[in-house]
Structure 1
């Protein structure tokens, strides 16, 4: 039996369909690139431009395995009518990762692919000196990963700005149905990017704070993080990933609880984080919770 939720969507036999013109993706799948030559030997950063660093032999196999895992995931729901649209960072190691992931996908399942500069790696400057970078990263850890800016490079907040711009474009593509070759097919978006960019993407999507961001762990090479559409009409990490996994990624108990609500809340019953008591109390813990101001009753909105 079909159910409608507050996002004008229909949940029927476990599948999410939407009654408006937008064809919302079932999943948004984030993948970090495979092991690179610089992941093995940081000296590579000193003589090879970051965007030209290639995958290692193990990185190629990691990417192929990631492709098989993603294919198994989208097939596991039993829906044989699906396709995938890919976004990829312009760096050599991410493009190579996508090529290996793509080996698992029949061509008729690929709705399209776009090279997207805004999801590139954080800029650390040009050629990197290993000893100098070691000191700079120590400074970053003391200063805070989100706001620290590398000399001649970017801060995490700079990456946040361009990832935010990418998300606006992504939603515009979704709104205009540019990503699906078949409106009746289940759509999966796969984004092949970098560790910090993936964390920033999640921060921006779920409206996490800078403090929450600093507690996050970077994905491992070719680790997959999946946002899936829940019964609430919101995307959640808690559908494909268990509590222990989310905790290992650096999510707090409150963040994990929010992911579960996104996954399992009844249509129209999800409570946005900025209205949750635990979050309000981080700013208004000393404020009287009554409905009176200076002894006078105030009408509630």
Structure 2
């Protein structure tokens, strides 16, 4: 019952991408696509149609869309939909939790420039925009969406026929896509800070590997993963996932013990010895204070 692919799509070029002054007069959620953005979305639809119909007959795949409620994402969905017939689309759901990061209300360009310079010094993940959100806030709501997504799959709320290949297509924004991948693959905050934003209508394809784990390395090349900002360790993990059996744990990933501890004792005796050394150092410090 698992989807064969979960595909993240960033919206096409918007008027705000072209000219940031658009945000000073138009609310972010109402920013439209440019003519180029519409063309990008149509090409993206053709690419998606070819991708999900590959490896089988033209009749045995189905798609289900999740879309951010913003004007530019809904417009991107409409153009992508031109490449699919009704029989291949199971359904579509507007999902507010995958909307764009909230930067505040109307955005004064000079003020936003200074704010974003401050964000670079503070750190992209934790910096909260005045009257808006941090990437950490977006992570929390995207995490909640991911839990709902799993329930939809688990309870077959998408009404998928097991004889058909299901593809979930999530049309969202650059940051929301990055934190979705961060949550899914358990990337650290430090690793997130090095990720690059996807381009307009660029795809991130998570595809089931041989053992039932999702991986970016099934569809994408190592060169693409490097371009996106994945480290050698993250790329190695994606390659491992492409062939790993479902439920296995990759001890070489960023969540391995060595990533969090300077030194771990190999045995209980070594640990007790280490405790003794610690207490000796603590007593020396107290004597120094006296």
Specify if TM > 0.5.
yes
The equivalent residue for 1:58 is 36
Residues 96-139 of structure 1: CA deviation (Å, up to 9, x unaligned): 00000000011110000000000000000000010011111111
The equivalent residue for 2:132 is 153
| Structure number having the greater helix percentage | 2
Q: 1:213 aligns with which of 189, 192, 213?
A: 192
- Whole-Å separation in 2 of the counterparts to 1:277 and 1:27: 24
The equivalent residue for 1:286 is 263
The equivalent residue for 1:258 is 237
The answer on 1:202 being equivalent to 2:185 is: no
The equivalent residue for 2:3 is 25
| Structure number having the greater strand percentage | 1
* Distance apart, 1:76 and its partner CA: 1.4
- Whole-Å separation in 1 of the counterparts to 2:63 and 2:42: 16
Tell me, yes or no, if the aligned pair for 1:180 and 1:187 is still in contact at 8 Å: no
The structure with the largest alpha-carbon Rg is 2
In structure 1, the residue corresponding to 2:47 is in which secondary structure?
helix
- Whole-Å separation in 2 of the counterparts to 1:221 and 1:200: 17
The change in CA–CA distance for 1:276 and 1:119 in structure 2 (over 3 A counts) is: closer
The answer on 1:93 being equivalent to 2:72 is: yes
Give the unaligned 5+ runs of structure 1. 1-22, 296-301
- Whole-Å separation in 2 of the counterparts to 1:72 and 1:230: 19
The equivalent residue for 1:3 is none
Question: What pairs up with 1:264-283 in 2 under 5 angstroms?
Answer: 264-265=243-244, 267=245, 270-272=248-250, 276=253, 279-283=256-260
- Whole-Å separation in 1 of the counterparts to 2:106 and 2:149: 32
Question: What pairs up with 1:1-301 in 2 under 5 angstroms?
Answer: 23-79=1-57, 80-265=59-244, 267=245, 270-272=248-250, 276=253, 279-290=256-267, 292=269, 293-294=271-272
When normalised by structure 2's length, the TM-score is 0.90
Residues 2-60 of structure 1: CA deviation (Å, up to 9, x unaligned): xxxxxxxxxxxxxxxxxxxxx11000000000000111111000000000000000000
- Whole-Å separation in 1 of the counterparts to 2:9 and 2:156: 23
The change in CA–CA distance for 1:93 and 1:141 in structure 2 (over 3 A counts) is: same
Tell me, yes or no, if the aligned pair for 1:32 and 1:221 is still in contact at 8 Å: yes
Residues 222-269 of structure 1: CA deviation (Å, up to 9, x unaligned): 00000001112110000110111001101000000000000023x368
- Whole-Å separation in 2 of the counterparts to 1:143 and 1:57: 36
* Distance apart, 1:284 and its partner CA: 2.1
* Distance apart, 1:288 and its partner CA: 2.6
The root-mean-square deviation of aligned C-alpha atoms, in Å, is 1.7
Q: How many residues align?
A: 272
